[in-house]
Amino acid sequence: MLTIEHLTLQLPYYAPWWRRRWAEVLSDVSLELHPGEVHAVVGASGAGKSLLAHALLGLLPEPKRQTGRLTFHRQVLTAARQRQLRGRELALIPQSLDALDPLVRSQRQVSWAANRAGDARANAWQAAGQALTHYQLDERSKQAFPHELSGGMARRVLVAMAHVSHAQLIIADEPSVGLDPQQRDRVLDALAALARQGKAVLLITHDLRHALPIAQRVTLMRQGRCVETAFASAFQGDGDTLATDYAQALWQALPDNHFGVTPTAQAQNVA
Amino acid sequence: MSRAQPRRDALWMGAAIAVLLVALLSSRWWLGDTPGQMHFDARLAAPSLDHWLGTDALGRDLWARTLAGLSLSIGVGSLAALIGTFIALGMALLAMLGPRFDALVALVIDTLLSVPHLILLLLIAFALGGGTQAVIIAVAVTHWPRLARLLRAELLQLRHAPYIAMSRALGKSQCFVMVYHYLPQVLPQCVVGALLLFPHAILHEAALTFLGVGLDPSQPAIGLLLADAMRYLSSGVWWLGLFPGLGLLLVVLSLERLASHWRHAL
Amino acid sequence: MQLIATFAVRLLRLALVMVCVAAVSFGLMMLSPIDPIDAYLGPQMAQVSPEQRDLIAERWGFNEPPVVQFGHWLGQLIQGDLGVSHVYNQPVSEVIGQRFKRSIVLLGSAWLLTTLVGFALGVVAGAREGSLLDSIISTYAYLTASTPAFWLAMLLLLLFSVYLGWTPVCCAGPTGTLSQDVGLATRLHHLILPVMTLALVGIATITLHTRTRMIALMNSNIATHAFAQGASRWDIAWRHGIRHASLPALTLSLASLGELFGGSVLVEQVFAYPGLGEATVAAGLRSDVPLLLGIALFTALFVSVGNLLADTLYALIDPRMQKVTP
C-alpha cells in the first residue's frame, strides 16, 4: 500500500557564528507496508521513528531537505497529495497525549476529526459517538475534558479519532507508552483489529516486546537507518534467523531471553 | 526565521539606537540657544528650507525645539527608568527576607498597580509640586511595581533551589546569599526590565507635561510643545502638532523594538 | 464551595488594597507644598485677612495633625461623604457621578471595540505567522503601542474635524446647548473620534498578546495533530485557536482598564470631552484635593474590580480549573 524508497531527511541546526548546517536524521530508509498488516518500527529514542511518521504525513516544518520516493496506492505521494490525503487516507495516532485539545470534550474532538475526513456535521457527531462506544468509552467519558480521562482512556480517544477518518493507513506513534499492561493491551488490540479490517498499520515503538504480539513485520531502526526488516516470527528462540547482529543482540537482551549482552551488542552500544 | 538571528539583530539595533540616542542627547550642546531664539519675521511659518519643521507662534524653530524636547525626554526617561529599576530590584530583594516582608511588598505593589498610572502620576507630581525632579520621581515610582512583580516571581522560584539551601547550610549569611546567588540571577532581567521601562517612562513623561502638571513651561519638552500646538490646531497649523509627536513616536518605537529584541536574545 | 472561599479572600484583599490606596493618596496630598487654603480661595487669596484664614483652617481641620485629619476623612468616607469640590462647587460624589456617566459611554465602547477588534486581528495574524497579513498587523500593533494617545487624538482632530469637517471639534455636544437637550445622534457624533483614538491605541496590546498565544498554539502538538487530520490553518484557528486565545484576551483587557482610563484622561483633554478624565486634570491643576482624592479612590476601585473579574474568570470558565482529575 505504502512504499518508502531511499528516504533521506536533513534538518537544519545552527553552528556558532550563525552558520546553518544540515543534520541527517533519516538516511536511506526503505520500507513497504501492506494492507491487513501491522508493521512495527522499533528503535531507541533518537532513532528517527517519529520523524519518519511526520515525514510520511508531510507534517515536518520548513526548512528541510528530503529526498527519496514515497508511493501510496501506486501513485507518488507528493506534498500536495499528502495534504489531500491527510485525515482521509492517512491517519496519525500521535505520541503525546497533549495532542488532545484540553478545552474540548472528547466526543466533540472526535467529531471534528470525522468532519475533517469529510463527514457532514450531524453524521460526524454520530460517528464520533459510535467510535467512542466501540473503544469502550462510556457516556460520561464522551462528555469529559481530556484532563478528566485516564491515560488509557485518552489514548483510546486518540485511536477513535484515527478510526473515524476511515483511513487506509494508520500510523501509531508510541501508542503504548505510559500505560499499564492492561490498558496497553487494549490499545494494541484495537490496532490489531484495525489491521484485520484490511488497513495497514505502522506501529512505532521503542519496545520490541510490545510490537511482537500484534506485528507481522518488524523493522529495526538505529540512528536514522533501517537496520533490518524481519518477520515477527523470526524473533524466537535464539533469534538465529535474524540477519544482523544488532537484531540478534536486541532480541537476546530482552529480559525473557537470558538478558544476554553479547560482545557485538556492547560494541554497538558504545558506538 | 532562523533561531540564531535575534542575537545578531539585537547587537546591530543596539548599536544603531545608541548612536541615535547619543546624537539626540548631545543636541543640547550643538544646538546652543537656537530652541529659544525667536524670529519675529517668521511666526507660525510652515516648514521651509530656513525652518525645516516650521516655527511656532513666537517664531521659534520647531526642529531645534523638537530635538531639544527629545533630548530632555530621553534624559528624564532614562533617569526615571534607572531609578525605577533600582526600586524594583530593592523591593524584590526585600521580599526575599521573609514572609512578612514578602506580604508587605506584595501589598505595596498591589496598591500602586490598582491606581491607574496617569492618576498616580498626577497625585505624585501634585505632591511634589511639579518641576523636572517631580516628573522623574513620579515616573520612577509608578513604573517599578510591574518589574518588581516579575523579579519577585523569579526570585521566589530560586528560594527553594538546592544550591541556596546548601549555601545556607554551609553557614553563609543572608547578605552573602543575596549578593552572590539572588542578584546575579536577576541582573539580566533587570537590564531588560530597565530597557522596557525606558519607552514607557518617556511616553508618560510626555503625557504628564502635556497635561501641564510636569516640567517648567520654559523648557521645550515634547508634551509642552504639543500642548502649545493644541491652541493652533483649529486654525490648521499642522506642523506644530505633527512633528514633535512623530519624533517622540520614533524614539519610543526604536527603544521598544530594541527592548523586545533584547528580551528574546537574552 | 472553594470558589466562594477564594472569591471572599479576594474581596477582603480588595478592601485592604483600597484602604492602602486611600492612605497613600491622602499621604501624597499632605506632602504637597501647595497650601490647601490658597488652593481653596483661588484668586481671592489676597482679599482674605489672616484671621479669616485661621477660621477657614479651623473649619476644614487643616491645623490638626495629618493622622487626625486622615481619620476624620476616612470616617466621612465610610459614611459616603467625599467632601466638596471647590472647582465645581459641588459634592465630590456628585461630580464623579455626573462625569463618570459621560465617561462610561466613552470607556465602554472603546473597551468593547478594543477587545473585539484586537482579538480578531491577533487571531488572524497569529494563524499565519510570517505571512503578509501578519506583517501588516504586527507592524500596526508595534507602531500604535509606541504612539502617545494624545498625539494620535490631535492628529485625528486635525484631519477629521479641522480639514475634513466630518466630526465636531470638541466637547460632548454643541456649545451653548444644555446636555439634556442633546440628541442621541449628536452625542454619538461627538463620541466617534475619542472612541476611535482610544481603540486605535488600545488594540495593540491585545493583538500582540493574542498573536503570541496563537503562534504557540499553531506550533503545539494540538495543531500538528489537527494538521494530521487534514485540517487547514483556518480550521485550526477557528476551532482550537479561538478557544485557547479568547479567555487570555478577555482577562488581559479586563486587567488593563487602568491604561484605558489613563488614555481617556488624555483623550478627553484633547477633545475637551467633559468626562471624569477632564475633571481629573482640572482637579490636579487647580489643587482640588477632595476631588483628586475621590477620583483616585474611585478609579482604583474601578481598576481593582476589573482585576478581580479577570482573576475570577479563569476559575469560572476554564474547564481545567473546575474539576480535579479523577
- Residue ranges of domains in chain B: 4-30+58-265
Supply B262's cell numbers: 533584547
Residue C265: give the domain boundaries: 92-323
Instruction: Give the chain C residue nearest A82 (alpha carbons).
Output: C230
pLDDT band at residue A260 using 50, 70 and 90 as cut-offs: low
Q: Read off the CATH number of the domain in which C317 is found.
A: 1.10.3720.10
- Measure the CA–CA gap between C220 and A191, rounded to whole angstroms: 25
User: What amino acid occupies position C112?
Assistant: L
Chain C residues within an 8 Å CB radius of B117: 258-259, 262
Span A61-73, average pLDDT: 88
pLDDT digits (tens, 9 = 90+) for B157-174: 887 788 888 888 888 888
Q: Which value, to the nearest 10 degrees, does the dihedral of the CA atoms of residues C15, C19, C21, C25 take? A: 160
pLDDT band at residue A7 using 50, 70 and 90 as cut-offs: very high
| Residue A162 belongs to a domain | yes
Q: Does A61 touch chain B (CB under 8 A)?
A: no
Q: Does B11 touch chain A (CB under 8 A)?
A: no
The count of other CB atoms within 10 Å of the CB of residue B75 is 17
Which of the residues in chain C have pLDDT under 50?
324-326
- For residue B2, the model assigns a pLDDT of 42
- For residue B60, the model assigns a pLDDT of 84
Instruction: Give the chain A residue nearest B8 (alpha carbons).
Output: A18
CB–CB of C125/C138 below 8 Å? yes
Instruction: Provide the shortest C-alpha distance from residue B176 to chain C (in Å).
Output: 33
Chain B residues within an 8 Å CB radius of A22: none
pLDDT digits (tens, 9 = 90+) for A124-153: 999 999 999 999 899 999 999 999 998 889
CB–CB of B67/B244 below 8 Å? no
| Residue C12 belongs to a domain | no
- For residue A263, the model assigns a pLDDT of 47
Chain C residues within an 8 Å CB radius of A87: 228-231
Q: Does A14 touch chain B (CB under 8 A)?
A: yes
| Residue A37 belongs to a domain | yes
CB–CB of C258/C227 below 8 Å? no
pLDDT band at residue A13 using 50, 70 and 90 as cut-offs: confident
Q: In this complex, do A94 and C224 lie within 8 Å of one another by their Cβ atoms?
A: yes
| Residue A19 belongs to a domain | no
Of B119, B128, B233, the CB nearest to C299: B119
- Burial class for C162, CB neighbours closer than 10 Å (0-12, 13-18, 19+): middle
pLDDT digits (tens, 9 = 90+) for A190-205: 999 999 999 999 999 9
| Residue A94 belongs to a domain | yes
Span B145-156, average pLDDT: 89
Q: In this complex, do C296 and B115 lie within 8 Å of one another by their Cβ atoms?
A: yes
pLDDT digits (tens, 9 = 90+) for B39-63: 877 777 788 877 778 888 787 888 8
Does the structure show a pLDDT above 50 at A77? yes
- For residue A118, the model assigns a pLDDT of 87
Instruction: Provide the shortest C-alpha distance from residue A186 to chain C (in Å).
Output: 20
Number of domains in chain C: 1
Span A68-97, average pLDDT: 90
Q: Does C25 touch chain B (CB under 8 A)?
A: yes
Of C149, C154, C280, the CB nearest to B119: C280
* pTM score over 0.90: no
Q: Which value, to the nearest 10 degrees, does the dihedral of the CA atoms of residues C309, B144, C294, C259 take? A: -50
Instruction: Provide the shortest C-alpha distance from residue B250 to chain C (in Å).
Output: 8
Number of domains in chain A: 1
Of C221, C228, C319, the CB nearest to A145: C319
Higher pLDDT, B145 or B179: B145
Q: Does C304 touch chain B (CB under 8 A)?
A: yes
Instruction: Provide the shortest C-alpha distance from residue C311 to chain B (in Å).
Output: 14
Please state, rounded to an integer, the average pLDDT across all residues of chain B: 85
Q: Read off the CATH number of the domain in which A155 is found.
A: 3.40.50.300
Higher pLDDT, B10 or B92: B92
| Residue A257 belongs to a domain | no
Q: Does B133 touch chain A (CB under 8 A)?
A: no
Span B213-237, average pLDDT: 82
How many angstroms separate the first and last alpha carbons of chain B?
A: 17
Reference B248, options B52, B66, B22, B121; nearest CA is B66
| % of chain B residues with pLDDT over 90 | 22
| C-alpha torsion sign, points C165, C167, C171, C177 | positive
**Bridge partner list, C177:** none
Please report the ipTM that was assigned to this predicted complex: 0.88
Span B176-202, average pLDDT: 87
Neighbors of chain B with 3 or more C-beta pairs under 8 Å: A, C
- For residue B27, the model assigns a pLDDT of 80
Residue A151: give the domain boundaries: 32-63+85-250
- For residue B157, the model assigns a pLDDT of 82
pLDDT digits (tens, 9 = 90+) for C121-135: 999 999 998 899 999
Kindly provide the b/e burial profile for residues B155-166, where b requires at least 16 CB atoms within 10 angstroms of the residue's own CB.
beeeeeeeebee
- For residue C42, the model assigns a pLDDT of 65
According to the CATH classification, is domain B4-30+58-265 in 1.10.3720.10?
yes
Q: In this complex, do C222 and A99 lie within 8 Å of one another by their Cβ atoms?
A: yes
- For residue A267, the model assigns a pLDDT of 45
- Residue C73's contacts (CB-CB under 8 Å, 6 or more residues apart) are C26, C83, C293
Neighbors of chain A with 3 or more C-beta pairs under 8 Å: B, C
Of C17, C270, C296, the CB nearest to B123: C296
- For residue C326, the model assigns a pLDDT of 37
- For residue A265, the model assigns a pLDDT of 47
- For residue C324, the model assigns a pLDDT of 45
